[in-house]
Amino acid sequence: MEEMLGLQQGNGRWRIAVWGLRVGFVGLAVAVAGLLAMALGSTPWLLGVGEIIWLAAAAVTLTAFSLSRHKLPEPRPRYWSMRFLLIHDSLHARPSAKRA
């Protein structure tokens, strides 16, 4: 569990993974809106934009996640616990640390 706190405090790659997942949520919402627009007879451009945003965010999130896990000392936490922490951190905002 101590490693998990190390992810959340002072790990820039972890923050990039969290923000990448947040952007991915937005891309997914845009893609769903595009599907709804297509169902109503519109052109598929909105769906395409959502897919591009989601794919780019997925690549950034996966890369940053892997690099932040690699940075942790042995024994590293399991992938599933880190994934759940990533989802938790992306859904819950944390206040910035105050600098002295």
Number of domains in the chain: 1
Is 100 part of any domain? no
Is 25 part of any domain? yes
Is 36 part of any domain? yes
Is 1 part of any domain? no
Is 83 part of any domain? yes
pLDDT of 76: 75
92: left (phi over 0), alpha (psi -120 to 50) or beta: beta
Is 98 part of any domain? no
Residues 13 and 68 sit within 8 Å (Cβ to Cβ):
yes
Is 99 part of any domain? no
pTM over cut 0.85: no
Render each residue's pLDDT in the chain as its tens digit; 100 residues.
455 555 566 678 888 999 999 999 999 999 999 999 999 988 889 999 999 999 999 999 999 988 888 887 788 778 888 888 888 888 887 655 544 4
Query: Residue 47's domain spans which residues?
Result: 11-91
